[in-house]
Structure 1
Amino acid sequence: MSEKKVNFILGRGDSLTLPVAYQNRDGRSEPPYTWDAQRAYLTPLLKKQAEDMARLPSEACPEDQAVSVITLHPQYLSRSAFPDKLLREFNLRLIGSKPVKVRPRAGRGSDSADGAASTALFVAGTRTAFKNLAAGAPKVASEDKAFADLLKLENVAVLTSADRIMGKIASERAEALEVVVHFDSFTDFEWEAELLQYAKDVGVTLDPDRNYQTRGLLFLPGFGDARAAKRLAQFSFVRAIRPMPKLRVLEKPAVLRAATRASHVFLPSETAIDPDCAVAVFDGGLREDHPFGLWARNIEPNDADNIGKPIASLQDHGTAVTSAVLFGHVESGHQPRPYCSVDHYRVLGTNTNDRSLYSVMLYVDRILSQSNYSFANFSIGPYEVAGDDLVTAWTSMLDDHLGSSDLLATVAVGNDGNEPWPHCRVMVPSDSVNAVAVGASDTQGEDWKRASYSSIGPGRHPGTVKPDVMYFGGVEEDPFRFVFPGPVIAEDYGTSYATPAVMRIAAGLRAYFGSSLSPLAIRALLLHCASPGEQHRDEVGWGAIPNDISEIAVCPDGSVRVLYQGKLKPGKVLRASIPLPAEQLSGDVSITATFCYTCTTDPHTPGDYTRAGLEVTFRPHSQKFEKDPLFPKPSSFFKRYDRSQEQDLRIDAHKWDTVLHNRATKRATCMNRSSMSTIWRGGRGIPIARAMRRTSRTHLW
C-alpha cells in the first residue's frame, strides 16, 4: 500500500507578491451646511464656550489652558477630514478623541433617530486662544485655510466635571481611584507638578511613582471620595476618573479539586521539544512541590515590586495554567512531551488587592521591557469589561508591547458570560487589538458550543471580533484537567485554562517549524484554521482552534495553505498572487483568506485607536478589466469593503481592524492568475490565502 502524501503549509508566499501603483479615488463630498447657516449656528456656541472657560478656577487651568470638546459632523469621520487647518489658525492642539453618535441638523445621519457615528475631538489651548476662536471664526473668509474646517463642526462645548467621572465613586469613604490624564511628555511636563498639588488640595492622593504613560495619556492610581474626585475632575487635562478595578483572579478565585476518575499520570523524562522556546506566564506562581522541574521555573518578584508573599490558592491557579501550557487538557496515562519551556512569573500575592493593581501591571511591563520573549500568556487581568470610549492602562500597556515587537500574547476573555449586558462583555486586556483573546468552548468535539460562562464580544473598536478564538475550557459536567503534584489529575473549568491551551498549540507550531514562522505568522495561522461553527461571531469570534497541531500544519486533501510574510510601507500597494494549477480547473474553487498585522496604537484617540488601516481588493481574473488596464476588475471578498462610504466602514471598524478573515466560492472558469491587492496605511502585515477545489482532490500548489 502506498503511503499517503502529506501536504504541509506552503511557505514563502511572499515570493508571489509584487508592488503595484496605487489607484486613487476622490472621496470629497459637498458640505452639509451653507456658510451662512453654519456661522449663525456656531457663533453662540463658541461665545458660550469662551464664557464657560473664563469661569473655571485658575488653578484648574495649568498655564491658563482649557479643553474643548469639538464634535465633527458624521460626514467628516475619515482621518483625512481632520480639521488641522482650523486648529493651527487659532493656536489649538488635539490631545485626544472618542467615538460618539450624533444626529446632525442636516446631511448624513439627520434622518435617523439614533444619529450616526462620528468623532468628538479633545482640543487644548489657552483660554485666550478660545476667546480668539469665538471672535474670529464668524469672520473667516471663504479663501481662508480654516474656512472648510468650520463647515465640519457639529458642536463645541467645554469638557465638564460630569463628563470626566465614570462609574460610581463612594461618597461616604475614600476608595482607590484610577485617574487618566491627557499628557504629552514633550509638551505638558511643565504642569505635572501643578496637577499633583491641585489633587492634594482637593483631597485626592495621587501616586506618581506608580504611573503608566503611553502615547497621549498618563494613568495614575489615586485615593479619594466622590466629592474630592468631582473637584479633581475640574482640572483641564483630566480625561477620566473612575473606581480602580480589581484583579479578576482575586474577585473570583479558582476552586481546584481532585479528579473523580482515575488520575494516574506519567510525565515524560525528556526536556521540551524546543528548549530554546520559553513562554512567559504571568499568574499566581507555582507550588513548591510542582512536578514540572524539567520544563518550568518559578520566578519570584523582588520586594520592590510590592507583590507580597505567595497565596496557596493563587499558586494552585498558576500551577494549573502552567500545566495547560505544557500538556493541554490531560487524560490518565502517559503525557506528551512538552513543546516548550515555561518561565512562570508570580505577579500575585498578599499585597495584590484593588489598591495595588498598578503594581501588578507595572511589574509585567518591566518584565516585557527587559526580556525578549516570543510568547506570553495572561489568564489574569482587571475585573473590568471592555469599553468603546476609553482605553485602559492594561490594554494600553499590552498593545504598546505587542504592536512594536515580535511577541504573541494569549489573553483570557473572562468568565462572566452568564451576566447581563454589559457585564458579560470581554474583560480587559483581552480587548487588545494586537493580542489573541481566547474564550472557552464546552467540548472538544465537532458539536462544540460556547461555554455559558465564557465572556462575549464585541470587543472595543476597531477590534470588534473578540474573542478571537475558542478552545475547550471545560464545564461542570466535563471539566478541564491538568497535572498537579503527585503527579495526579486535578480539574476545574474557565477561560483561564482554555487560554494557555491555545498557547500550547502556538508553541507547538514554533517547535516544529522553528523561526521560519514568526509569532505574527503563528497568530494568523491560528485564526485562519479556526472553525466558526454556527454561533454568532460576537460569542465565538473566528471559531474553535483545532485540537491537533497537524490540522494546522497539514493541508486537507484538495487544498493548499499559502503563507505570505513581509512588511509594507505606508501608502504602498502589494499584489499577492493566489497559486493555481497551470491547467484549467472545473467546478468551484473555495478561497479562505486571513490578513493579520500588528501596529502601534493611540490610546488617547480610541475612535482612531490603530495607526494602521488595511484595504484589500480581490481580483479573480487578470485579463478582465473595467477601465484601467493596470487594475483587473475587482470582485467582492471582504464584503464590507464593498461599501463606498467611510462612515459604513467605521461603524463596524472593519477598515482599521488588525485582522481580516473571510471565505468565498468562485467558479473555476472565472479565475485566472487571481490576486489580492493590499494597501497599508502603515503597520506590518501577514496575509494567508487558502484555495480549495471542492469538486476534485487535485492539490493546488
Structure 2
Amino acid sequence: MENKKNPKYLPILGYGENLIEPAQKNFGNGPTVFPRTYSEAKARVKKNIIELKRDISQIPREKKIDEIIVTVRLNEKFLAKSYTPNSLFRESKFENVGSRRWIKPLEETTVISKMHFVKVNSSSLDALEDALSKEEAILTKSFKNDIRKLENLSLLKSDEVMQGFEDQWEEGTVEFVLHPFGEKSDKVIEKFKALLIENNVLPEKIKIKEYHDGPIFISALVKRQVIDNISDFNPLRTVHPLKVNLFPELRSFQTDELSLIPPKGEYTSPIKVGVFDGGVDESNPYLSKYVKENESVPSIPHPSGIQHGTQVAGVVLYGDLNKYESFSQLSDPVVVVESFRVLPKSDPRDFDLYEAIDLIEKIVPERNDIDVYNLSFGPIGPIIDDEISRFTYALDTLAWNYRKLFVVAVGNDGHKPAPLNRIQAPADLVNGLGVGSFTYDYSNMGKKRAFYSCIGAGREGCKVKPDLVAFGGDDKFPIHLLSLNHKGKELSAGTSFSSPYIAGKAAELLGRCKQFNALSSRALLIHAATNPNNVDNDLGYGVLDQSVDEILNCDENKVTIVYSASINPTGIAKLSIPLPLNSKLKGDIYISWTIATLSKANMLHAEDYTESAIEHTFYPHHKKYSLKNGKKTKTVHIDNDSELINDLIKEGWQLSGQPVSSSPIKYQNETEKRVELKWDTVVKNWKVMRNTSLEQPFLLLHGMGRNGSSFERMDYSAVVTIHAPKYQGNLYEDILNEYKVLQPISIRSRNEVLIRV
C-alpha cells in the first residue's frame, strides 16, 4: 500500500522520544517489619553455624573443594533485591554467587521466599561467629537487620538439587548446572567429571559449556543411580532432565494438490529472516529463489528435518497457503530466508542440543545482515521456575549483546495436564517472542487457543507467555504448507508454523521502516495483538493476524505514536502523551501503551533473571494533585483550587510531588492478578477515561537495575495509541499540528523494497 496512491493511509507517528523529559519522583516505603528481634535471630543463626560446620565436615573430599557453597535462606518478607543481606556478606566475607526461590513449608501451607548461594570457608563462618559474639551496641544497624532477615544457613538438599524429574524416570540425558568458581572452575569441572566417570558415565558423552561470569553447564547421558550418587556434590546447583525429539512433533493430517503458481522470481528482497531448523529443500520452485542454505552441523540431513525446515521457510515467505485462491500466482515475497541446518545432531544418541546451540552462538555474531531469527524446535518438557536452560540463556545473551530478535515456538504439549502443558524452553526467553497457535471455534468461527499450544505463565522477567499467537491450525482447520512433493501440500498443525509467521512480520517491519530496530519491532507486534481478555495464559497478549501495513496504519481518530529511547537505571523520564488541548475532545477516550525493554540476563539469579526493567505510572491530568493529612485525602486542581491548597497547607496538609496517578485496567487472568510484573521486559496496559479527566496526560518511567547492573543504560521502545471515537475533527492532523516534533514514519512500499533480479 503506497501513501501517494492512497491518501487515506495514515502512517503511525514516530520520534515520540522528542516528547520525553527528565523528571523526579519520590518513592516512599513504610517501616520494615522483621519476623524476630536481633537477640532471637542471633541465637538462631549461632545454632545454624554449629550445624553447618558439622555438615561441611561430613562432605567427602571428592565432592567439595576448599570453598563451600552454602544457602542463606531469607524470611518471606524479604523477596526484593534491595533486601539482599549485603552487610552480613561483607562482615563475614561471604561471596554471593547466585539466588533462586525457596519454598518454605508452614503448618498448613507453603510460602515463597528466596535463598542466596554464597561461597564460604572456615574463616568466613568464624568471622560470622565472632561478629555475633560482639556487644550489640557496637554492631551496625544494617548488619543486625540482616541477621533478623535470616531463616536458615544450611547446605542445599539433594531434593532441591534435582528439578523436573518424574518418579518413573530411570535413564536419559540431563543438564547439570554448577556454580561459578572463577579461577577454580577448572578444578571444579575436573572433580565433577571424575565423579561422573567413576559412576560409569562415558567420557565422550560428557559435554561442557562455561560462560564468563556465569554458571557451568554439563550435559551427560546417565542413569538414575548416577544422579542419586552425585546430587550432593557441593558445587552442583541443579540437575534437570533433557528430552528432545529429533524434530518437533508434526501433526500432519493429509496431503493435497498444491494448486498455486510459484512466483515469477523477477524480484528479490534484502530483508532476511534467519531460520535455524533441520535444513531446507532448495530445489522447491516456491523456495529456490528466496531461500539460501548456509553453514550446518556436520551430520547427514534427515528427510523429516528437511520437510520441517521447508515448511517453516514457506510460512516465513508466504504464510498459510490456504489463504490464496486456487490457481493464483504467488507474489515475489517481501522477505527472504537464510537457512541454517542445526539438526539432526551429529550423534543421534545425544539429546542435549548443545551442538545446535554452539552453532547458533557462532553464527549470530557473524551475520550483521540478519536481525530476526526463527526457532521452531527445542527440548521437550515444561520450563522450571527455579532454573533456566542453557538454550534460553544463550538466546537472551545473544539478543542483548547483538540486538537481535529471536522468535520461538512455545511447544505442542498444551493438551497435557498441568504443569506438563506449560511453555517449553527456549520460548521462555525474556528478550524475544514466544509464539503459540490459535485456531477457529467450529461453532462460531471465533479465534481460540489451539488445543496443543503450550500455555503460560512464563518465568520471572517475562511472565506473560506466549507473547503472541498466530494461526497454527488443528484437525478441523489445518494449516496448508509446502511439501517435499513439489506439486503437493501438507495439511498440518503446530506452533512450529505460527512462529515463522511472526518472524516474517517482524523482519518486514524492520526492512520497511529503517528508523525501527528489533526492540521497536517487538513492541509494535505485541501492541498490535488483540485478546478479548486483554492478557491471559492461553493467548498471551493476543492474536496477531494483521499485515504490516495494518500494523503501521492509523485512523483519523485513532493515532499511534512510537517512542525509542534509553534510560539510566534509577533514572526518571516523563513520556508525554500528545493529546491536543482543544474542545473537540468528547466522550470516552481509550489509551493503550506497550513498553518493551532489552535486559541483560543473569543466569545465576533465577528469580532475578532480568537485570533491568522500567516501572511506569500513568498520570491522566497534569494539574490534578492530591493533598493528604493523615488518612484524609483530597484531589485538587493546582490552578483552580490555589486558595484552598494554600489554606490546607497552613493547616498541615501536604501536597503530592506528582499529579494524581491512575491505575490501568487489570489483567483478567487470575494468575496475573496475583503476581507482580514489575521486572518484566514487556508491559501492555489500557485505560478508558472521560474527556474531562484528561489534560496533557503522561507516563512516568522509572529505570531500575539490579545484580550490579545499575551503571548500564537501558534501551526501550514505547508504543502509545490514543483512540477518541467521538472526536469532532481529525485527531491525527491535530496532533501533528500541535506537536511539531512528531512526524509520520517513513514506510517503504513493497516495490521500494524489492530488487529486480
TM-score by length of 1: 0.90
Within-5 A mapping of 1:205-216: 205=202, 210-213=208-211, 215-216=213-214
Aligned counterpart, 1:404: 401
**Higher alpha-carbon deviation: 625-634 or 677-686:** 625-634
Aligned counterpart, 1:129: 124
Percent of pairs identical after alignment? 26
Question: Does structure 2 retain, via aligned residues, the 8 Å contact 1:169–1:243?
Answer: no
Aligned counterpart, 2:651: none
Aligned counterpart, 2:366: 370
In 1, Cα distance between the equivalents of 2:429 and 2:243?
Answer: 17
Question: Could you report, residue by residue, the CA deviation over 1:75-133 in whole angstroms, capped at 9, with x for unpaired residues?
Answer: 211111110111121121111111133367xxxxxxx9434332111122114423553
Matched, 1:679 2:705: no
CA change 1:171–1:200 in 2 (3 A) is farther
The residue identity in structure 2 corresponding to 1:285 is G
Aligned counterpart, 1:610: 610
In 1, Cα distance between the equivalents of 2:22 and 2:535?
Answer: 37
In 1, Cα distance between the equivalents of 2:264 and 2:597?
Answer: 37
Question: Does structure 2 retain, via aligned residues, the 8 Å contact 1:440–1:498?
Answer: yes
In 2, Cα distance between the equivalents of 1:559 and 1:361?
Answer: 43
Tell me the CA shift for residue 265 of structure 1: 2.9
Aligned counterpart in structure 1 of residue 277 of structure 2, from 275, 279, 283: 283
Tell me the CA shift for residue 699 of structure 1: 1.9
SS in 2 for 1:442: strand
Aligned counterpart in structure 1 of residue 331 of structure 2, from 311, 327, 336: 336
SS in 2 for 1:455: coil
Within-5 A mapping of 1:269-348: 269-272=265-268, 275-291=269-285, 292-301=287-296, 303=298, 308-330=299-321, 331=324, 332=326, 333-348=328-343
CA change 1:610–1:535 in 2 (3 A) is closer
**Higher alpha-carbon deviation: 454-463 or 288-297:** 288-297
SS in 2 for 1:655: coil
The residue identity in structure 1 corresponding to 2:661 is P
Unaligned runs of 5+ in 2: 627-653, 706-713, 736-757
Unaligned runs of 5+ in 1: 105-111, 641-647
The residue identity in structure 1 corresponding to 2:152 is N
In 2, Cα distance between the equivalents of 1:649 and 1:95?
Answer: 30
Matched, 1:48 2:51: yes
Question: Could you report, residue by residue, the CA deviation over 1:369-428 in whole angstroms, capped at 9, with x for unpaired residues?
Answer: 332221000001111211111011111111111123321111000111111111111111
Question: Does structure 1 retain, via aligned residues, the 8 Å contact 2:174–2:352?
Answer: no
Aligned counterpart, 1:252: 249
Aligned counterpart, 2:87: 85
Aligned counterpart, 1:645: none
The residue identity in structure 2 corresponding to 1:371 is R
SS in 2 for 1:123: strand
Tell me the CA shift for residue 257 of structure 1: 4.2
The residue identity in structure 2 corresponding to 1:366 is K
Question: Does structure 2 retain, via aligned residues, the 8 Å contact 1:8–1:555?
Answer: yes
Question: Does structure 1 retain, via aligned residues, the 8 Å contact 2:247–2:304?
Answer: no
In 1, Cα distance between the equivalents of 2:528 and 2:342?
Answer: 33
Tell me the CA shift for residue 230 of structure 1: 2.6
TM-score by length of 2: 0.84
**Higher alpha-carbon deviation: 589-598 or 32-41:** 32-41
Tell me the CA shift for residue 171 of structure 1: 10
Question: Could you report, residue by residue, the CA deviation over 1:632-656 in whole angstroms, capped at 9, with x for unpaired residues?
Answer: 222212759xxxxxxx999624110
In 2, Cα distance between the equivalents of 1:183 and 1:623?
Answer: 52
Aligned counterpart, 2:634: none
Tell me the CA shift for residue 661 of structure 1: 0.5
What is the Cα-based RMSD across aligned positions, in Å?
2.7
Larger radius of gyration: 2
Matched, 1:380 2:411: no
Aligned counterpart, 2:589: 589
Matched, 1:15 2:18: yes
In 2, Cα distance between the equivalents of 1:21 and 1:617?
Answer: 12
Matched, 1:219 2:217: yes
In 2, Cα distance between the equivalents of 1:638 and 1:51?
Answer: 54
The residue identity in structure 1 corresponding to 2:317 is L
CA change 1:441–1:230 in 2 (3 A) is same
In 1, Cα distance between the equivalents of 2:137 and 2:264?
Answer: 78
Question: Does structure 1 retain, via aligned residues, the 8 Å contact 2:253–2:475?
Answer: no
Aligned counterpart in structure 1 of residue 42 of structure 2, from 33, 39, 43: 39
Aligned counterpart, 2:239: 241
CA change 1:140–1:229 in 2 (3 A) is farther
Question: Does structure 1 retain, via aligned residues, the 8 Å contact 2:534–2:541?
Answer: no
**Higher alpha-carbon deviation: 522-531 or 225-234:** 225-234
The residue identity in structure 2 corresponding to 1:370 is E
Within-5 A mapping of 1:273-672: 275-291=269-285, 292-301=287-296, 303=298, 308-330=299-321, 331=324, 332=326, 333-349=328-344, 351=346, 352-372=348-368, 373-443=370-440, 447-484=446-483, 486-513=486-513, 515-534=514-533, 537-584=536-583, 585-626=585-626, 631-637=658-664, 652-672=675-695
**Higher alpha-carbon deviation: 428-437 or 293-302:** 293-302
The residue identity in structure 1 corresponding to 2:233 is F
How many aligned positions are there?
676
Tell me the CA shift for residue 586 of structure 1: 1.9
Aligned counterpart, 1:644: none
In 2, Cα distance between the equivalents of 1:268 and 1:186?
Answer: 59
Aligned counterpart in structure 1 of residue 97 of structure 2, from 95, 102, 106: 95
Aligned counterpart, 2:61: 58
Question: Does structure 1 retain, via aligned residues, the 8 Å contact 2:207–2:220?
Answer: no
Question: Does structure 2 retain, via aligned residues, the 8 Å contact 1:311–1:350?
Answer: no
Matched, 1:693 2:688: no
Aligned counterpart, 1:643: none
